[in-house]
Structure formats: C-alpha cells, structure tokens
C-alpha cells in the first residue's frame, strides 16, 4: 500500500521510535503507544535501530507521521552540558538516531508527536536546554515522578487558551500523570508552550511553523483507557498525519 492508498482509506503510517533494553540487548515497546495509534485509525510500525542517515531518511519518508516515545534520559551533550554525576541514564544510540529522524521529519513536513522523552529530545535538538534532574535543579512540591499505577493523574496542568491543545481538549485545566525527572528548561527557538505545571514546568509545546509538531511531558499511552484527553491527543496526531485538520 503506497502513501496515497493509505491516506485514501484513512489510515496513515506512523513510525514509532523503539524502546531499548540494555540488559537484554533488545528493542521493546509499551502496548499503549501502539494501541493509541491503532484506535485512532493509524497503522503503526516500530523502527529498528539504524544509524546510516540515508537509511533513516528513507524510513521516515515511508511514514506519514513520527511518534517520539519515552524512555532513556536525553544526553546533556545534545545541548552542550556535562552530565550530572550519577543522575543521567542516557542511550547515545537512541539520541543519535532520533536526532536524524526528527530533523528529517521536520524537513519533509511529517506530523510529529513527542511523549515524555520525546518533548525533551525535540527541545534539545532544536536548540533548547533541559533540567537534567528536577529534584536537584528545580525542587518542587509537584509530583513529577509518581509511583504506580501510572494511569492515574499526578498533578494539574494549565492549558494555554490560544493553543491548539486547548482547541483539541476544549478545556483550560487538565489532570495528567507524570513519570519523569528531566524537563524543558530553556525553550528552543520556534517552539511555543501549550500547557504548564503549577511549578512552571512546561508540560506541552508545539511548533507553530510546522504542520503538526506537538509534544507532551505526560504519558497518554498509560492513561488511554480511562482518560478521554489522552485519546484526543492520539486522534489529533493521527488526523494530522492523514492530512486532515486537527
């Protein structure tokens, strides 16, 4: 099925960034990412680990959209800092691959959705910085790294009234789950916040100049079953990848 056939039947092809398990030397995937895409009407597939730029460009060009998943810390080297000792669990080959994937997807106008690590990677690659560790660098009473179960909300977030996220969710305050210790610090040029935590941490952002680049700090793949807002975010992404308005 070529791209025009996929779009004519309403099923865009979404490339999903793989999760990596060092101990098992293997890629893996949380089902919520794929379930969210499938239920929104997409055809998801998991990227292999590949590092040749030409190969990655070909893979991205097969897709209608790219999902940047959670997982490892983003290496501070991407934004010109040294790692805080003992606090960073990065995966250099993920950073290297996803940097190429993101830049290719931006260049070709693909729909892009970042989740957790995804929002951090987008910001770092585009010239922003991160809090390497929130407890050490931005202590707060807001619970950003909750205990299980992860489908329950951890804190509130204020949604900007003039943002695409507000138009999608039709509300100015949402409850989100939270499982991260890194976060956006200095926002990259060209990105605009869409939601904020009570302590000032950016919870969602977008790129106004791109057809669809959204990123959220929380985990809609965990809260998919019980939270309509999570389903709406996947639906907006898949709709954009299919060439329909959000």
Question: For residue 79, what are its two tokens?
Answer: 């934004």
Alpha-helical runs (H) found in 140-189: 164-169
Alpha-carbon distance of 236 to 242, in angstroms, equals 10
Q: What is the mean pLDDT of residues 26-33?
A: 92
Is residue 224 predicted with pLDDT exceeding 90? yes
- Give catalytic residue positions: 116, 219, 221
Q: What is the pTM of this model?
A: 0.95
| pLDDT greater at residue 26 or residue 213 | 213
Alpha-carbon distance of 110 to 120, in angstroms, equals 19
pLDDT-based confidence at 134, cuts 50/70/90? very high
Question: Could you tell me what percent of the chain has a pLDDT over 90?
Answer: 90
Omega prior to 198 cis, within 30 of 0: no
Beta strands 65-68 and 155-159, pairing class: unpaired
Tens digit of each residue's pLDDT (9 = 90 or more) over 80-123: 999 999 999 999 999 999 999 999 999 999 999 999 999 999 99
- Nearest Cα neighbor of 236 from 225, 218, 60, 216 is 216
| pLDDT greater at residue 155 or residue 2 | 155
Q: What is the mean pLDDT of residues 172-198?
A: 98
Q: What is the mean pLDDT of the chain?
A: 94
- Nearest Cα neighbor of 206 from 236, 244, 226 is 236
Is residue 158 predicted with pLDDT exceeding 80? yes
Is residue 127 predicted with pLDDT exceeding 60? yes
Q: Which pLDDT belongs to residue 164?
A: 98
CA dihedral 52, 89, 175, 202 (to 10 degrees): -70
Q: Which pLDDT belongs to residue 1?
A: 52
Q: Which pLDDT belongs to residue 246?
A: 46
- Nearest Cα neighbor of 59 from 72, 69, 49 is 49
pLDDT-based confidence at 24, cuts 50/70/90? confident
């Amino acid at each position: 099925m070529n791209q025009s056939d996929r779009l004519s039947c309403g099923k865009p092809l979404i490339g999903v960034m793989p999760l990596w398990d060092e101990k098992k030397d293997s890629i893996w995937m949380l089902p919520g990412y794929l379930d969210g895409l499938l239920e929104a009407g997409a055809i998801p597939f998991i990227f292999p680990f590949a590092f040749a730029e030409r190969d990655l460009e070909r893979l991205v060009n097969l897709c209608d959209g790219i999902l940047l998943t959670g997982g490892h810390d983003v290496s501070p080297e991407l934004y010109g800092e040294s790692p805080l000792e003992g606090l960073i669990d990065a995966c250099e080959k993920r950073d290297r691959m996803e940097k190429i994937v993101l830049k290719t997807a931006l260049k070709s106008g693909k729909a892009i959705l970042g989740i957790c690590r995804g929002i951090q990677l987008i910001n770092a690659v585009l010239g922003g910085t991160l809090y390497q560790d929130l407890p050490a660098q931005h202590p707060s009473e807001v619970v950003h790294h909750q205990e299980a179960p992860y489908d329950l909300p951890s804190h509130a977030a204020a949604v900007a009234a003039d943002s695409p996220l507000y138009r999608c969710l039709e509300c100015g305050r949402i409850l989100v789950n939270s499982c991260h210790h890194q976060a956006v610090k200095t926002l990259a040029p060209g990105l605009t916040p869409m939601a904020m935590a009570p302590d000032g941490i950016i919870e969602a952002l977008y790129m106004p100049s791109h057809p669809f680049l959204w990123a959220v700090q929380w985990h809609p793949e965990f809260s998919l079953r019980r939270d309509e807002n999570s389903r709406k975010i996947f639906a907006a992404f898949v709709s954009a990848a299919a060439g329909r308005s959000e």
